[in-house]
Structure formats: C-alpha cells, structure tokens
Amino acid sequence: MKRIRPDLWETEPEYPAPGLSTHAYLWTSPDGNVLFYNTSLESEIEAMAELGGMRHQYLSHRDEIAPSLRTIKERFGSELHITAAEAPVAGETCDVDGTFDERRTEEAGFEVIPTPGHTPGSACFLVPGADGTLYLLTGDTIVRGADGEWFAGYLPGHSDHDSLVHSLETLAPLTPDVVISSAFTGDSGVTSLDRPWADCVAEALASLTPVS
C-alpha cells in the first residue's frame, strides 16, 4: 500500500479491462479504519492488517463486488455497506451489514451521497481529511480522463442518462480538495483540484450526449 495523504492509503492497482485501472483506499480514522471500494489482492489485505485492519467497508457501486468481500469481512470482522439499490446484488456474494438510500453522515464522520446513474445504486463519499483536506470519492460517477478532461461514467445499455445528470448536479455544489475515482484511465485516479469543482462537473455534464 502507498500512503497518499496523512490519513489515506492506496492499494496496488488492478486492471479489470484494457486501459482501465482501479484502487481501493483505506481511511485511517480515529474512530476505526474505513475501506472505500474493494481490492482482491491478498498482499494488500495483509498490508491493511498491519495498519490496524478496518471496521467498515463501503462500496460505491456493484462493479466492486467480488469474492474478496468475504475474505475481508472474515479477516477483519468488518461491516459491509452499500446502497439499498445495490444490496441484493452484493448479498449474492457477501452478507451486507448496512445500507443507505439518502444522503447522510455516518458515525465515522463522513457523508454518503447516493448518486444513481452509472448503476442504479452508485454512491459517492465526502470524507474530511485529518489535515483539513476534503476528499470526494466518486466511484465511477465522474472520472478524470488521461487527457485531463472530466467525463461522466455513462455506459450505453448499462447506465441511466437522466439519473446520472441529476447526480452530477447534486455533486456540483460540493467543495472538495481531492477527488478520487474508483476506476480510471491514465496515471492516477487521485486528483488534487486546481480549479473549481463546479467547472469539472460542468465539463462532465457536457460529455453526456442528450438522449431524445
């Protein structure tokens, strides 16, 4: 694992498709560590054990579901969380301990924000960093491409256009300092913003082809 912020660790990459990479992120909170997204790498699960394991794991959407969810739960006794819309899919692989279907602040002090569109139950997470930095973990709802442009995670036949537009509009007023997607193209899914986040979201909205 690689430490990328004082309280945030990134797993080694995995490659689910050509040109596409993913990481998971361990947030070392004083109230207990939280894993966002998922990893199937046994070496990274052991590395997380050295960092104190975790109390909770939060998935941003169904594409992160894998047998490693059971491994992580059994290894750490952690609780698995996902949106209510995605819970039946996750439950086919691993018991789900907590669901959410509205924006709220969790006990650990971060916000869960349902953002359907990429999948019916996609979600984002707004996390306060230890040094005052605000992290926004976006799953595949909005991603920065290898060319530096932001785009919406719309896949024809897989995503819902109107829901994704509404979700992006929900994210636009936020003021994150660092944005972290699940899957990404290019060198990194972690972006320290150097321009207003609302402009990035507007760019992603412009990438969506209107549906007649």
Q: pLDDT tens digits for the chain (212 residues)? A: 999 999 999 999 988 777 778 999 999 988 899 999 999 999 999 999 999 999 999 999 999 999 999 999 999 999 999 999 999 999 999 999 999 999 999 999 999 999 999 999 999 999 999 889 999 999 999 999 888 899 998 888 888 999 999 999 999 999 999 999 998 887 788 999 999 999 999 999 998 876 55
pLDDT at residue 117, rounded to an integer: 94
Domains of the chain: 2-206 (3.60.15.10)
Structure tokens at 102: 């509205």
Sign, CA torsion 109/62/79/11: negative
pTM given for the model: 0.95
In eight-state DSSP terms, residue 166 is H
Q: What is the rounded distance in angstroms from the CA atom of residue 119 to the CA atom of residue 172?
A: 19
Query: What does DSSP say about strands 8-10 and 104-105: parallel, antiparallel, or unpaired?
Result: unpaired
Asked if residue 109 lies in contact with residue 118, where contact means CB atoms within 8 angstroms, the answer is no
Q: What is the rounded distance in angstroms from the CA atom of residue 115 to the CA atom of residue 169?
A: 10
Sign, CA torsion 36/38/44/48: positive
pLDDT at residue 104, rounded to an integer: 97
Structure tokens at 174: 């936020």
Q: Exposed, middle or buried, 101 (CB in 10 Å: 0-12/13-18/19+)?
A: middle
pLDDT at residue 186, rounded to an integer: 73
Structure tokens at 93: 């692989």
Q: What is the rounded distance in angstroms from the CA atom of residue 139 to the CA atom of residue 179?
A: 10
In eight-state DSSP terms, residue 91 is H
Q: In terms of Cα–Cα distance, which of 105, 114, 44, 45 is closest to 82?
A: 114
pLDDT at residue 150, rounded to an integer: 94
Asked if residue 45 lies in contact with residue 208, where contact means CB atoms within 8 angstroms, the answer is no
